[in-house]
Structure 1
Amino acid sequence: MKNTSNFSVPGSGKTATVLGTYAYLKANNLANKIVMIGPKNAFGSWIDEFTICLPTETKRFYLNIHSKETNSVEKRKFSLKFDSGNKELILVNYESVNSLKNELLEIIDNQTLLVFDEVHKIKNPEGQRADASKEISKNAGRIIALTGTPIPNSYVDIYNLLNMLYPEDYKDFFGFTKNELKKVDIDTMDEINEKIKPFFCRMNKDDLGVPKAEEDELLKVHATEAENQLFKIIKQSYQNNLFGLLVRVMQLESNPKKLLEKIDYSDLRGIIDDESYESADVEVVDYSEDVNVLIEQIKEPVKVKKTIELTERLVRENKPVIIWCTFVSSIKTLENRLSKKGIKVKCIYGEVELDERLKLIDDFKNRQFEVLITNPHTLAESVSLHMVCHDAIYFEYSFNLVHLLQSKDRIHRLGLKSNQYTQYYFLQQYYEYGGKEVSIGNKIYQRLKEKEVVMIEAINNDVLESVTSYEEDLELIFGEVLLI
């Protein structure tokens, strides 16, 4: 098939499969370059895997339009026009497709293998990104769409995908309107799956012989009296705003002083879907003076302390560690505390430039430092760390299953030795509330496991999984707490 999709799980070798396809096409004079549209974090992996799979004597076989030299739209346009002619791998991020549309149309031809990596990024059917992506696809010789999570929100997420791959046939063959895909019943779901089944392949890690990870280690942390008191105040203040309640509890566990500040909306990307936080209206509640007193009593949150202790132990055992957070403030807090302990630590988050990210990833792989702290929104896609790191600590995590699975797969991927362990540690803080022990972290974890089972069953049954809204997830997570 000239145009097709690979929905195999993260870490299953989708990039290498594309490179194998390209090698075949090139040998038969059917392609002379790959144009890869994807997240910037994927660039390093594409370059590394191309070097491994298709050794070349030419060091500059690729064009990265987000290098230090191309730091403006005009420079990127110039580079695509005049520097792309002898390149076999051209790397463009989704955010730039619209501004570079005309230049991409000039270089994408019938000898181009056009690849959309993490294609679920193009999910808004009315968005400029979707329109530009469909436009640049029309002249490509072949198109491959890659994602381990084809429908992170609802079945409407496949609308753009199918229209990019089969624009002339979508209406006649598939024919589903956007409204039909937004709310599907069981019969419609069966019909959709039956129609799209011939157009994608999907493998899981068991199919590929990836050794199973160890059972998750859930680390129970008991809140201090001050933290218990603050939890009660937060619950009473935000019981009519479940999203606000979730955010504030996470802040209590990482940096209580953040409770007095307005929410940084850029941080919310790690909690709900990337483009949904216009519905997340979280304002500062005017607490009583008691809150300031309680916050001042917390010199170091117990979850921070437990994380530092665990990290110290792993480093003493000569194990590189990756720590996953949600908030940038949490990343900086842990970095500061670990540095004071004499541990070599580096951070990657949204403000870190692409070139610096790639350097830090290489340095971590080469054991130049011991601990990497990051968040799923920044580093959960298309980065391979499994050859050097086998321990991941989840200091913060949300009910975003896509981010969790992709972050896990940074260290659990195709290529591991059969006897290699992979260990995940989940910090879960417990509060005394209403005569019961309550842990929001444990509730989120249990909800994630339920969603993961749904996804695995869908893969095994060769269908696309059904999904829930984040509002439904919040009600499931906080339901018991709100009844107390």
Structure 2
Amino acid sequence: MIKISYLEELHQVEISTNKPSKAFEEIRSGYAAGSTNLTLFSANRLVLPFWAFISSIQSLIYIIKKHATPYTLDSTMLNLIKKSASKRASYKDFRKMEQISPEKIKKLLKQKGFKRDLTPEQLRNVAKLYNFPAGATFTVPGGGKTTEALALFSLKKGSEQEKLFIVGPPIASVAWEKEISKCLDYPYRFANLTDGYDKINKNLSLNPDIMYISYDQLLTVFDLVLNHLTKFDFFMCVDESHRIKGGERVKRGKMLLSIAHLPEKKLIMSGTPLPNSTKDLIPQFKFLYPDCNFNESNIVHEMQDIFVRTTKEELEIPKYTIMLKRIKMSESQEKIYNLLKSEELRRIEALSKVELNMLRSLGRSSMKLLQAASNPSLLLTGLGTETQYRINQLITEDVSPKIKYVCSRVRELAANGKKVIVWTNFRKNVEQLTSLLVDLGADYIHGGVPSGSEDNPVTREAKIKRFHNDKMSFVLIANPAAAGEGISLHEVCNNALYLDRNYNAAQFLQSIDRIHRYGLKKNTKTEIEILISPYTIDESVQRRMEMKLEKMARVLNDPSLIVEMQYADEETYDECNGLLLEDANDFIKHLKGWR
């Protein structure tokens, strides 16, 4: 006998047997071979998330019937399966429904007491998503995704007891709280769930109407928050939803997918939902509709009716320009780069295919070469003994050609009264540039800079305020991972320099959005300059970036994502002919000498 039960306390499914059977062994083997989602795996018991169970239910039924094995379902499990089947059927019905008009949405929002007047684009987006229990807004930064989310919550709120639960990056909580006060009519009790278990437990005991929590904080108090939420109906928003693109392979994705069946109403939000490929979309839409079968072959078609996007072109944001500046490496830097390139190729060729597929070793190798191409002094430590000795012998300069160019260019811009933000992936580059440009009021933001009050001079908020208000503060040096979200600099800064870039297209686009977003004056010229060392990993990154942006533009129907990038010295540029495949393939080809 195989027993299938729903574990209320875990919100997961248990498959168990009271004695060994061929059916259970085949089920067990199937899950062991094809899933990373098992919470518990033993000889007679399996525990897995509900969405993973629903995804495999047809195979499970086939195995049970093939072996003619008796089975039982508890009442909760039976009801959830029926509900899932109903949702799959209704999903198709929702797509056939006649869309409500923007004018009707406007009237309904007025009746609900919604305070803010929506723009025509926001009304269009809310009208499109209104009929669906779950949807996505991929509007560009500054285009009003938060307002759209609050409008949908206001329209769909079924009772006074229904909650709004938001998961997003830590920095976005302040913006959400401000938007709530501007949009919703009566005072909602807002709780930013942060600072650990005890404080969060205390905040939840006050029964807030709207709760915000960061992805990483939720990981630490998952059971506490979930036990509170399941007492109510709740509308769930996932802000910057591309952060769960790894699905069940990453902690954030696995966590949110495990509760995807609980909220009836959901919204995902991101300006860059597919930073790498269309595969990035599957976990995000699986969260919205865990009962539906999304895969790489159907995701682009299936998502069309349930996502909206307001583009920069629609918002009449002036176009920006990108210039690619070739910076030749010094003789010693070139020797260091080629030595490291040979060492990494030798090491990678010795790896198994499994290790290559995991991309971990390739990721470490790519970062080493990015360091060598931007600033070899970053490699003074952290390498193998023999390689470290040889590289240390070759490092003959404290300041690399790229660093020298950045300093020269920043001074040129400052002399013309222009502020600039400099982007680099490496903390030591951030700190070195800050030291070299201290006379221009240089400040920095990297992962070691805390968030907090703008009255505390060491916080990122204080640094951003100073960059805005201090006329003698001409340059901000930042790491895209630390400062690529939640910062608006477009009112005072219209120039950006990229000392280096990695393969992360989301970080690149989000960093551009710090200075190029809604609110720019029509005649504003936003200029972006990207430094590239010829015949290095920089060219591999550039090839891949262009390909990713073209794909994102095609999937999101947003041609404004494609910006023509020209070399400053285009007439002397040696065109690359490398095949544009996956990042890893492109990187390996670079290591093997492909240009």
Query: What TM-score do you get using the length of structure 2 for normalisation?
Result: 0.63
Seen in structure 2, the aligned counterparts of structure 1 residues 443 and 202 have a Cα distance that, compared at 3 Å, is same
Tell me the residue number matched to 1:209.
316
Tell me the residue number matched to 1:121.
243
Of all paired residues, the percent bearing the same amino acid is 26
- Cα deviation for residue 307 of structure 1 reads 0.6
Deviation per CA, 1:37-79: give whole Å up to 9, x if none: 111132343345445x439998x9643333xxx3x33223323
> 1:205 is paired with a residue of what secondary structure?
coil
How far apart, in 1, do the equivalents of 2:411 and 2:177 lie? 33
1:249 matched to 2:366: no
Deviation per CA, 1:135-189: give whole Å up to 9, x if none: 656554632111233334555544433343234xx1xxx324xxxx4xx4xxxx2
Deviation per CA, 1:1-24: give whole Å up to 9, x if none: 232111234454322322444455
1:361 matched to 2:479: no
Residue 473 of structure 1: which of 558, 577, 586 is its match? 586
> 2:448 is paired with a residue of what secondary structure?
coil
- Cα deviation for residue 93 of structure 1 reads 0.4
Deviation per CA, 1:72-94: give whole Å up to 9, x if none: 33223323333x53x65x32101
Seen in structure 2, the aligned counterparts of structure 1 residues 147 and 256 have a Cα distance that, compared at 3 Å, is same
- Cα deviation for residue 116 of structure 1 reads 0.4
- Cα deviation for residue 439 of structure 1 reads 4.2
> 1:373 is paired with a residue of what secondary structure?
strand
Q: Which amino acid aligns with 2:379?
A: L
On the 8 A contact 1:114/1:137 being kept in 2, the answer is: no
Residue 394 of structure 2: which of 294, 307, 311 is its match? 294
- Cα deviation for residue 397 of structure 1 reads 0.5
How far apart, in 2, do the equivalents of 1:24 and 1:33 lie? 13
1:51-62 equivalences under 5 Å are 53-54=182-183, 62=190
Deviation per CA, 1:124-143: give whole Å up to 9, x if none: 32555345434656554632
Q: Which amino acid aligns with 1:42?
A: A
Seen in structure 2, the aligned counterparts of structure 1 residues 121 and 298 have a Cα distance that, compared at 3 Å, is same
On the 8 A contact 1:110/1:140 being kept in 2, the answer is: no
- Cα deviation for residue 353 of structure 1 reads 2.1
Tell me the residue number matched to 1:144.
267
Seen in structure 2, the aligned counterparts of structure 1 residues 387 and 17 have a Cα distance that, compared at 3 Å, is farther
Q: Which amino acid aligns with 1:201?
A: V
Higher radius of gyration, 1 or 2: 2
- Cα deviation for residue 33 of structure 1 reads 5.8
On the 8 A contact 1:41/1:382 being kept in 2, the answer is: yes
Q: Which amino acid aligns with 1:377?
A: A
Tell me the residue number matched to 1:196.
303
Seen in structure 2, the aligned counterparts of structure 1 residues 361 and 441 have a Cα distance that, compared at 3 Å, is same
How far apart, in 1, do the equivalents of 2:218 and 2:389 lie? 50
> 1:151 is paired with a residue of what secondary structure?
coil
> 1:76 is paired with a residue of what secondary structure?
helix
Instruction: Provide structure 1 residue ranges, at least 5 long, that are not aligned to the other structure.
Output: 263-282, 431-437
On the 8 A contact 1:260/1:284 being kept in 2, the answer is: no
Tell me the residue number matched to 2:325.
219
Tell me the residue number matched to 1:269.
none
On the 8 A contact 1:133/1:164 being kept in 2, the answer is: yes
1:482 matched to 2:593: yes
Q: Which amino acid aligns with 1:323?
A: V
On the 8 A contact 2:163/2:232 being kept in 1, the answer is: no
Seen in structure 2, the aligned counterparts of structure 1 residues 161 and 55 have a Cα distance that, compared at 3 Å, is closer
Deviation per CA, 1:382-437: give whole Å up to 9, x if none: 4332233211111110122121111111211122222222111112224xxxxxxx
Tell me the residue number matched to 2:506.
402
How far apart, in 2, do the equivalents of 1:156 and 1:117 lie? 19
1:129-168 equivalences under 5 Å are 129-134=252-257, 140=263, 142-153=265-276, 155-167=278-290
How far apart, in 2, do the equivalents of 1:385 and 1:55 lie? 27
1:5 matched to 2:108: no
Seen in structure 2, the aligned counterparts of structure 1 residues 226 and 195 have a Cα distance that, compared at 3 Å, is closer
How far apart, in 2, do the equivalents of 1:361 and 1:63 lie? 25
Seen in structure 2, the aligned counterparts of structure 1 residues 359 and 77 have a Cα distance that, compared at 3 Å, is farther
Higher relative contact order (CA 8 A, sep 6+): 1
Tell me the residue number matched to 2:515.
411
Q: Which amino acid aligns with 1:417?
A: K
Tell me the residue number matched to 1:175.
293
Tell me the residue number matched to 1:15.
146
Seen in structure 2, the aligned counterparts of structure 1 residues 100 and 425 have a Cα distance that, compared at 3 Å, is same
- Cα deviation for residue 298 of structure 1 reads 0.7
1:320 matched to 2:419: yes
How far apart, in 2, do the equivalents of 1:288 and 1:412 lie? 41
Seen in structure 2, the aligned counterparts of structure 1 residues 367 and 113 have a Cα distance that, compared at 3 Å, is farther
Query: What TM-score do you get using the length of structure 1 for normalisation?
Result: 0.76
- Cα deviation for residue 314 of structure 1 reads 2.1
On the 8 A contact 2:137/2:308 being kept in 1, the answer is: yes
> 1:456 is paired with a residue of what secondary structure?
helix
How far apart, in 2, do the equivalents of 1:385 and 1:402 lie? 18
Tell me the residue number matched to 2:216.
95
On the 8 A contact 2:443/2:475 being kept in 1, the answer is: yes
On the 8 A contact 1:77/1:100 being kept in 2, the answer is: no
- Cα deviation for residue 304 of structure 1 reads 0.7
How many residue pairs get aligned? The number is 421
Deviation per CA, 1:345-376: give whole Å up to 9, x if none: 22222222232233433443334743222212
On the 8 A contact 1:42/1:382 being kept in 2, the answer is: yes
